[in-house]
């Protein structure tokens, strides 16, 4: 049984696992997204999110603790510079795992992309466009809700009536359409 065993060992020794996760965290920080297996991405998320939280306060102690884990000067510079600036207001959840439909050719492992949330430009653009777009409020069907302004209801017009087809004796909609077309042709 594996009660309470939270760490996925990924079939590796402790030293190998830490080295692999450190390298993957460095790649994630430098490139902002990494394609890997789902199991490794979930392990990497647990590994890198505390480092990102420590990078939000730029002190000597936090730099030393993060460097002890990453051991890469370029990723440290990127993490405490560009990345920390973008994630400064986010309370957590710095990474996103997007599962891919394709599996790996060799062993059929489920593949995914793990990325830093604030650096996906296409999703950020769509989010900003959705916020900028004005939406109309829907009226509630129940009584006692928010009262609609009277001016708004007088300016709106009802949609035009459209003819509906009546179904006779359990016929399908297609059969009713054919029947109506035949009646119109006559």
103 within some domain: yes
pLDDT at 163: 60
- Domain of 29 in residue numbering reads as 14-118
Summarised one tens digit per residue, pLDDT across range 15-62 is 999 999 999 999 999 999 999 999 999 999 999 999 999 999 999 999
Q: How far is CA 185 from CA 9, 126, 165, 175, in A?
A: 73, 49, 16, 15
User: How far apart are the C-alpha atoms of 33 and 127, rounded to whole Å?
Assistant: 19
The β-bridge relationship of strands 110-116 and 33-37 is antiparallel
Summarised one tens digit per residue, pLDDT across range 137-177 is 676 677 665 555 555 555 566 666 666 656 667 777 778 78
The CATH number assigned to the domain holding 57 equals 3.90.1030.10
Helix (H) or strand (E) holding 127: helix 121-132
51 within some domain: yes
- DSSP-based three-state secondary structure for 37: strand
Confidence of residue 73 (pLDDT cuts 50, 70, 90): very high
Summarised one tens digit per residue, pLDDT across range 76-112 is 999 999 999 999 999 999 999 999 999 999 999 999 9
pLDDT at 98: 96
The arrangement of strands across the sheet holding 95-103 comes to 33-37, 110-116, 95-103
136 within some domain: no
């Amino acid at each position: 049984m594996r009660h309470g065993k939270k760490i996925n060992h990924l079939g590796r020794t402790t030293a190998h696992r830490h080295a692999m996760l450190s390298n993957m965290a460095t790649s994630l920080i430098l490139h902002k997204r990494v394609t890997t297996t789902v199991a490794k991405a979930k392990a990497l998320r647990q590994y890198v999110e505390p480092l990102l939280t420590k990078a939000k306060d730029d002190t000597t102690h936090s730099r030393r603790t993060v460097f002890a884990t990453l051991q890469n000067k370029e990723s440290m510079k990127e993490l405490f510079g560009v990345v920390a600036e973008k994630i400064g207001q986010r309370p957590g959840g710095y990474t996103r795992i997007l599962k891919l439909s394709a599996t790996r050719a060799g062993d059929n492992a489920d593949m995914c992309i793990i990325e830093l949330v604030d650096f996906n430009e296409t999703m950020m653009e769509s989010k900003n466009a959705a916020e900028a777009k004005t939406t109309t409020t829907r009226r509630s069907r129940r009584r006692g809700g928010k009262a609609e302004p009277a001016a708004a209801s007088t300016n709106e017009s009802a949609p035009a009536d459209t003819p509906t087809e009546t179904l006779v004796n359990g016929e399908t909609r297609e059969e009713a359409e054919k029947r109506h077309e035949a009646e119109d042709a006559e």
